[in-house]
Each structure stands twice: as C-alpha cells, then as structure tokens.
C-alpha cells in the first residue's frame, strides 16, 4: 500500500492577478521589480514572498504578498482577493497522480506535469487548480463550497489507487 495524505492547509493570501493590456511590458516590469518574469501558461514563477501560477491566458493565481505586484500591473491589470473562497489541499505521497485521475479529466500522470507546473481541470464535477510542488506532492486549489465534498471523494477512492 502507498502512504498518501490529503490535508487541508491553513488559509493563505491568495489573489487573482489579471492582465488586460501590455503583457510583455508587464512581464519586463515584473522581472525588474520582483526578480522574475511572468510565468508562461501552465508554469509558475516566484520568490519566497510571492508565487505566481498561470492557469489561464490572462489570469495568474498569486500566493503571498501582492503589494509589489500591484505596482507592476499598474493600469494594465488588477488584483482581486480570492483567498476566502479557496481551500488549499496538499495531496502527498507516491500515489498523488493516480488519485487525481479518479473522477478527473486531466492526465495528471503525464511526465510534462512536473514540479513547478500547474493546470486547471475538473475533478468530480468541481473546478480545481493544481500545482506540482515536488515529485511527491501536489497542491489543489478547491472552491471552499466544495472542499469538504471533494476531500471526502478523494478519501473514498484511495483504495482504487492502492492507498488507504
């Protein structure tokens, strides 16, 4: 059997950063001000203070201190607090990829879905954002209204992936 843990993490500062104009210029400003460029689609970038995850063409999930990011965006975008509506769930252990395949439509076992990568998908009818922390763990960003039900679903299907 594989030891697999499903853990709801404490709340964290989460924001949606949207860019509606001049993304190349925003990326240059981001590099200059924060030390990293805006990540490409399905990628992440960041520092100890701020991590950006790009799930959509014009939207990045920002975890951490977004104060410096607001100046970077200027009039080319906006930041919206979403932390109250999201639960971060860490799925850790050798079977995390197989677990995410249950009730899902995303190929979580693909080699390209490596540490530092992220994806938006649907699992058990719930919109979920995934971030590969490392080879043995993935963060799932789940709407608060569905977090308990989705975690219950994952616990129920553990035997199907050889874990419990």
Spell out a b/e string for 4-32, using b for 16 or more CB atoms within 10 Å of the CB, else e.
Answer: bebeeeeeeebbbbebeeeeeebbebbee
Is 5-11+84-160 a CATH 3.40.50.300 domain? no
The fold of the 14-83 domain, in CATH, is: Alpha-Beta Plaits (3.30.70)
3-state secondary structure of 95: coil
Mean pLDDT confidence for 17-28: 94
Q: What is the pLDDT of residues 71-128, one digit of tens each?
A: 999 999 999 999 999 999 999 998 999 999 999 888 999 999 999 999 999 999 999 9
In sequence order, which residues have a C-beta less than 8 Å from that of residue 87 and are 6 or more positions away? 8, 9, 141, 142, 143, 144, 147
Domain range annotation of the chain: 5-11+84-160, 14-83
Task: Read off the tokens for 115.
Answer: 């540490």
> Given a cut of 90, is residue 1 above it in pLDDT?
no
Q: What is the pLDDT of residue 163?
A: 65
Question: What kind and span of H or E run contains 141?
Answer: strand 137-143
**pTM of the entire predicted model:** 0.93
CB 15 within 8 A of CB 78: no
**Residues across the chain:** 164
In sequence order, which residues have a C-beta less than 8 Å from that of residue 141 and are 6 or more positions away? 14, 61, 86, 87, 88, 89, 128, 129, 130, 131
- Poorest-pLDDT segment among 10-14, 73-77, 91-95, 158-162: 158-162
Q: Which of 102, 75, 77 is nearest to 91 (CA)?
A: 102
Q: Which of 44, 50, 41 is nearest to 133 (CA)?
A: 44
Q: What is the pLDDT of residues 45-73, one digit of tens each?
A: 999 999 999 999 999 999 999 999 999 99
CB 96 within 8 A of CB 147: no
């Amino acid at each position: 059997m594989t030891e697999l843990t499903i853990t709801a993490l404490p709340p964290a500062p989460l924001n949606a950063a949207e860019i509606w104009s001049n993304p190349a210029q925003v990326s240059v400003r981001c590099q200059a001000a924060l030390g990293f460029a805006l990540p490409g689609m399905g990628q992440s970038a960041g520092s100890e203070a701020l991590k950006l995850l790009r799930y959509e063409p014009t939207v990045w999930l920002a975890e951490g201190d977004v104060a410096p990011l607001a100046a970077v965006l200027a009039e080319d975008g906006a930041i919206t607090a979403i932390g109250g509506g999201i639960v971060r769930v860490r799925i850790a252990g050798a079977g995390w990829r197989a677990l995410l395949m249950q009730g899902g439509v995303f190929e979580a076992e693909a080699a390209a879905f490596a540490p530092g990568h992220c994806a938006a998908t649907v699992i058990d009818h719930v919109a979920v954002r995934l971030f590969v922390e490392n080879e043995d763990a993935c963060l799932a960003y789940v709407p608060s209204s569905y977090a308990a039900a989705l975690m219950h679903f994952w616990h129920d299907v553990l035997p199907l992936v050889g874990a419990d």
